[in-house]
Amino acid sequence: MSRRAPRFRAQLTATVTTHTGNSALLVCRTRDISNVGVALDTEANLDPGTRIGITIMAPARGIAIEMVGEVTRELGGAARGVGVKLLEPPDDWTALVAMRGRAASSGGEAPRPKRMRVLVVGDDHRRRGALALYVTSGWDVRFASDLDGAAEALHDFVVDAVIAEHDLADPRWQPVLAEAKRAQPTARRIVRGALHGPAPQSGPLVHRFVDREAGIDALLDALTADLGGHAA
């Protein structure tokens, strides 16, 4: 993003889709914004020159602003991130930046929330269906569609949790969480799907089962609750 344009601190939810041969979907937060660019707070590997689609939620107006951008540089600091140049940003974006500018000139900066890093694994239908839930979470979310994608993500993305978006009776979650246990044994391992009854007991492979209909609070509890001595 241009260093000449006025920039304003803003922690907004951004859904990012890469426009490359190996397309990826992730959810992260913005660091700061300007009329011509945005800094994304993410640990995903986005090389300079990568073309991306960005959807940013404007909570005050209740709308989603869709844009196209190009990664221009990697950002330093306590957390990884990238600077993105926006290509023909719409008027809604200009209005959002102006609103943030007025807020910055009249008040202080909100405290920075703790950001959890989560890998969500599920086929395209399940990932799209769950996207709204993860957009509201405020977490740094990476998505993978299958076991191979999960293994690749776990190789270069240190996570707090791996969530398999599969029903309890679906056998695909078992090899995914087995790989998560092998690659990052300290990460929380969760299955989120249709349980068709009470959640089964956790065990060496799964820390928690969460019913798909339970919402964000149940999922947050699964990510933060005391494991009570269960094996990692």
pLDDT of residue 186: 94
Mean confidence (pLDDT) of the chain: 84
pTM of the entire predicted model: 0.65
Residue 41: φ, ψ to 5°: -95, 95
Q: Given a cut of 60, is residue 3 above it in pLDDT?
A: no
pLDDT of residue 98: 86
Q: Given a cut of 70, is residue 151 above it in pLDDT?
A: yes
- The CATH superfamily holding the domain 8-106 is predicted glycosyltransferase like domains (2.40.10.220)
Q: Is the torsion defined by CA of 22, 128, 28, 12 positive or negative?
A: positive
Please report which confidence band the pLDDT of residue 132 belongs to, taking 50, 70 and 90 as the band edges: confident
Of all residues in the chain, the percent with pLDDT exceeding 90 is 41
* Tens digits of residue pLDDT in 9-66: 888 889 999 866 556 788 888 989 999 999 999 888 888 999 999 999 877 666 889 9
pLDDT of residue 225: 76
Residue 55's beta-bridge partner residues?
15, 66
Q: Does the domain made of 117-224 have the CATH classification 3.40.50.2300? A: yes
DSSP 126-142: HHHHHHHHHHTT-SEEE
Q: Looking at residues 69-81, what average pLDDT do you find?
A: 80
The domain segmentation of the chain, as residue ranges, is 8-106, 117-224
Give the residue with greater pLDDT, 77 vs 156.
Answer: 156
Task: Tally Cβ neighbours within 10 Å of residue 23.
Answer: 10
